[in-house]
Structure 1
Amino acid sequence: MRNSGKLTGVKQVTDNAIAAGQDEGKTFLGHPTGLFVLFFAEMWERFSYYGMRALLVLYLTKHFLFDREAAYGLYGAYTTLVYIGPVIGGFLADKYLGARKAVTIGAIFLVLGHLGMAVEGDPVLDGQSPDPSVLNIFYFSLALIIVGVGFLKANISTIVGSLYKKTDTRRDSAFTIFYVGINTGAFLGALIAGYLGETFGWAYGFGAAGVGMLLGLIVFVWGKPALRGAGEPSDPAKLSAPMVGPLNREHMIWLGAIIVTFIVWFLVRSQGTVNTLLLIAMTVTYLYIVWRAIAKLNPHQRNRIIVALILISTNVLFWGLFEQAGSSLNLFTDEHVDRNLFGWEVPASMFQSINAFYIMTLGPVFAGLWVWLGKKGWEPSAPMKFALALMQLGAGFLVLAFGSSAGAMTPVIFIFLIYLLHTTGELCMSPVGLSAMTRLSVTSMVGLMMGAWFLASGAGNAVAAMIAQATASGGEGIGQVLSVYTKVGWFAIGIGVLFAIAAPFMTKMMHLDTLSDDSVDDVGTVDTFGSNTDPGAPDKTLG
């Protein structure tokens, strides 16, 4: 799944973190015990997030009786803001808080938000309006989750990297273990919270997500000694120095987070405002990157940045289509798919666990495949992998449209097939993209490029909402959904083909022959693409 994990770890290596790498204390399976503290904390965080995500659109349309376009719009605004938040949270952790304190703040906000989601009130009946007080609690809970993700997701994988020295050969193994925790949580969250929510009541599903996040927070706080200083503030004295009366910087960040929560409380219900803010943020970011590339970099470095921006732009299309899983595809599965397996009608939300299952089983296969192809000299370039990702994504929609008809329920096998093709596409896009950002950027721009990558992911979620709304614009019938899916499927394949044609030219612009571990970047520092960059662990795939 998503790639909202690592934004800032490439620069945050404090003295404490280095010390942690030199004196790691107790180990388990050859790794510091702190890794497993982070494993379980992140597992429960993903359990809560994906458990809630599996239920959200169903909850809106069945409990509050939102029409589909409104439900998709709210879902899109929520997921878009989730991707904007980590840019700010990562900055605050780098400059002031340190990753550990940022994760703690994020976890507390997430616990409150997920538990608030369990306040469902009475079901809305036809002709009635939702209880405003219950709706406001719901919106505020979403705001708490958005702010919490902003603090947590940008920083927890930073701490994983901080447990090891840059030259430690166990780093890839450590992120692989962490990646298993991420996917285990996502898999179990959709299964358990989805089942409880649809079978026993929404409060049980959302409550299970909240309990999962609470367990994650307990594990993280309890396991602080095992982190052995990793992720601590780079300047504790600066953080604790008074700013406004008795309030220091840490207090001000807490206060700021609360204020931002109230702002997000209003933003999350306004899809148009969120999209406008996102467009402004992306435009400013792109223009600044282009200016930096033209004014500060040599020709080869500038060309690499241009290629990186092209790759970033495809993120918008990819996630715009992929993220139908939580919105239109979720309702399609609920209403138009024969979900009877061995005599049991499986709740629709539980099918969102399929992606995580495929990631866990196919991720190692793809990692080994790229290594094997690389040894043979056959490994596709990053742009070609992006082309393959788009073509598989489009093929998934066409397969579903082929297996569906207006007169009968869609066989469940086609849901497994669309998720399979979308997952294999994701494995060609997400980890490859994160790796490319750290590889193509100069050291002084890595954080900026990663921020642009995640902003594009947020834009993809905004596009996803508009595509989902298009599936509902002609009514609630299957015909409109399949028409939109067919169009976007062919469009993605067409863009993938064009991308494949352009891939050799983009690969040439990457100047891989002059890319080295000792090139000098735009500010005269050593640009160590291999040793001073750390793609970390994205949300659902390993970078």
Structure 2
Amino acid sequence: MRQEYWIMAIAWLFVFAWIPIVIATNRKVHPKVLFFLFMVELWERFSYYGMRAFLVLYLGAQVMNGGFGMDKETRYAVYAAFGALVYLTPLAGGFLADKILGFRRAIIWGAILMAAGQFTLSAGQGNEYALYLGLALLVTGNGFFKPNISSMIGKFYPQGDPRRDQAFTIFYMGINTGAFISPLTCGAVAQIEGWSYGFLLAGIGMSVGLAIFLYTSSRGFLEQHADPPAEGIKTFRGLPVGPAVYIGTLLFVLLAAGLIYKNSIVTYILIALGLAAIAYMLVLSFLYPVAERQRIWVLITLLFFTSVFWGFFELAGSALNVFTDENVDKTVFGSPIPASVFQAVNALFIVLLAPLFTLMWGQLAKKGLEPAAPVKFAFGLLLLGVGFLILNLGRGAAVDGVMPLMFLILCYLFHTLGELALSPVGLSLVTKLAPARVVGFMMGFWFLSSAIGFQAGGWIAGKSATSGTATREETMNQALDVFNNVGLFALGSGALLLLLSPILKKWMHGVR
């Protein structure tokens, strides 16, 4: 058996042992529904990160090998537009769940669309129409699924409950367990057996997640939290709005496919939506008392810094993925490993380190020393910057444009530490700072930062691209110059946020 499959088998054994430990050590503290939603999110992330691990490699593969032969700038632009829309659509999905569908219907509909997207990509390997249709189905389904399953977690914990942050950290471990195993499975199979098989496995994963959610709902574990809003919109001019949502969704799929194809338009849409969302949130904030108003201002301020973080962090799936393929020695135990497999490194570190972060924050909280959320965000940016600068140190150890694997692993380690400081705290923070009536929309607003970052990341990744005639050493130096500048900007952003943190902490009015 190939070495890649041995690694895959060992990883699955690790996951099968790890999940029962997570559940057993937390089942007496948290409601049962958390662990079912943990499994739903695990399989949804298996699906998403499985295809993400090899998407840019698939786009760049030669036509004779089942790909599209796109140059680097083109595939980075497609990847960026796809990723931006993945995180932009939760704005609409959160609003529709809050006002019309409720969490249950939104999550089920989103899961169906995402499974259909993966199966479309699998069946249509090498077909341009299938490519953009499949990506559009994933984009649209994610909009219904992602903000609402995250928001629903917060519904099971009252305001001020100290278990809330722990619950989101556990939930985040589910995300990254799926993200860890999927590149080792979908990515390896795609690069060894064929791209369509990678997409097929991702589709099966999403179907498993949907089945678990349907079971969870049928057993009543979701209680009343997933029901359509009692005061929601039922009709418009005498017509039921529910069916209109589903019909409108299918029309939006066609629009999304066009936007991914004509991806430069996404930049202008994001600028307009970003400004409109900020303006809307500012106006909305003045409808609430001072404390809630200023908490909304905190979310708006942190939007900029999370955009910076995710714009740089998501280079992992584009420029850093291609850099790994071309300029990193991927030999492990004497055998070369496909580049997509290394997309699992970040998630593996999270699975291993997340419990330590949970313990650390818990111990600091008991002593009254836990830093406020803005400070944690600043630490995240600083650690991210260090990761890119460490990668740049590998330039001196490179031979013929190929650097040792150690520098890539260290880069991912520091990125992981930064992610653990920022991301799970961010999800929890939205549910604590947002007014209860608009928490779904606020979660979508939060994901807008990732959309902006993703699209900006495509532009940054494009700066690392070289001509087809460049030598391997030239491609390495060009990429490392970009990564070095990214690291310095991240350090500067983290320092600025540290300076602003006392004001933001005051505006949070006791929320940590």
TM-score (norm 2): 0.84
CA contact (8 A) 1:42 1:216 kept: yes
Instruction: Using the TM superposition, give the Cα deviation of residue 224 of structure 1 relative to its aligned residue in structure 2, in angstroms.
Output: 3.1
Spell out the pairing of 1:259-270 with structure 2 (5 A cutoff).
Answer: 259-270=251-262
1:155 correspondence with 2:148: yes
- 1:510 — aligned with what? 507
CA distance in 2, matches of 1:121, 1:296: 51
CA distance in 2, matches of 1:489, 1:169: 34
CA distance in 1, matches of 2:232, 2:362: 46
1:98 correspondence with 2:102: yes
Larger mean Cα displacement after TM superposition, 330-339 or 146-155: 146-155
- 1:338 — aligned with what? 329
Distance 1:375 1:184, change over 3 A: same
Larger mean Cα displacement after TM superposition, 162-171 or 341-350: 162-171
- 1:367 — aligned with what? 358
Q: Give the unaligned 5+ runs of structure 1.
A: 1-27, 123-133, 516-528, 531-543
Spell out the pairing of 1:136-535 with structure 2 (5 A cutoff).
Answer: 136-162=129-155, 175-228=168-221, 229-230=223-224, 231-235=226-230, 248-293=240-285, 295-296=286-287, 302-404=293-395, 405=398, 407-443=400-436, 446-472=439-465, 477-507=475-505, 509-510=506-507, 512=509, 515=510
Instruction: Using the TM superposition, give the Cα deviation of residue 444 of structure 1 relative to its aligned residue in structure 2, in angstroms.
Output: 5.7
Distance 1:310 1:413, change over 3 A: same
Distance 1:312 1:242, change over 3 A: closer
Instruction: Using the TM superposition, give the Cα deviation of residue 280 of structure 1 relative to its aligned residue in structure 2, in angstroms.
Output: 0.7
- 1:4 — aligned with what? none
CA contact (8 A) 2:97 2:440 kept: no
- 2:13 — aligned with what? none
CA contact (8 A) 2:98 2:440 kept: no
CA distance in 2, matches of 1:191, 1:242: 51
CA contact (8 A) 2:81 2:263 kept: yes
CA contact (8 A) 2:95 2:441 kept: no
- 1:76 — aligned with what? 80
CA distance in 2, matches of 1:187, 1:104: 24
Which residue identity lines up with residue 502 of structure 2 in the other structure? P
CA distance in 2, matches of 1:421, 1:168: 30
Which residue identity lines up with residue 200 of structure 2 in the other structure? G
Larger mean Cα displacement after TM superposition, 476-485 or 165-174: 165-174
Spell out the pairing of 1:21-60 with structure 2 (5 A cutoff).
Answer: 29-30=27-28, 34-60=33-59
1:176-215 Cα deviation digits (max 9, x unpaired): 5543332221111111001100111111111111111122
Question: Alpha carbon RMSD of aligned pairs, Å?
Answer: 2.9
Which residue identity lines up with residue 476 of structure 2 in the other structure? I
Instruction: Using the TM superposition, give the Cα deviation of residue 407 of structure 1 relative to its aligned residue in structure 2, in angstroms.
Output: 2.8
Bigger share in helix: 2
CA contact (8 A) 2:154 2:431 kept: no
Which residue identity lines up with residue 229 of structure 2 in the other structure? S
Q: 3-state SS of the aligned residue for 2:261?
A: coil
Distance 1:51 1:69, change over 3 A: same
Larger mean Cα displacement after TM superposition, 391-400 or 151-160: 151-160
1:40-75 Cα deviation digits (max 9, x unpaired): 322211111100110100000112110110100000
Distance 1:233 1:121, change over 3 A: closer
CA contact (8 A) 1:72 1:469 kept: yes
Q: 3-state SS of the aligned residue for 1:356?
A: helix
CA distance in 2, matches of 1:254, 1:94: 16
Which residue identity lines up with residue 269 of structure 2 in the other structure? L
CA distance in 2, matches of 1:480, 1:429: 29
CA distance in 1, matches of 2:149, 2:366: 33
Q: 3-state SS of the aligned residue for 1:155?
A: helix
CA contact (8 A) 1:76 1:464 kept: yes
Q: 3-state SS of the aligned residue for 1:232?
A: coil
Instruction: Using the TM superposition, give the Cα deviation of residue 501 of structure 1 relative to its aligned residue in structure 2, in angstroms.
Output: 3.3
TM-score (norm 1): 0.79
What is the number of equivalent residue pairs in this alignment? 472
Q: Give the unaligned 5+ runs of structure 2.
A: 1-25, 62-66
Q: 3-state SS of the aligned residue for 2:219?
A: helix
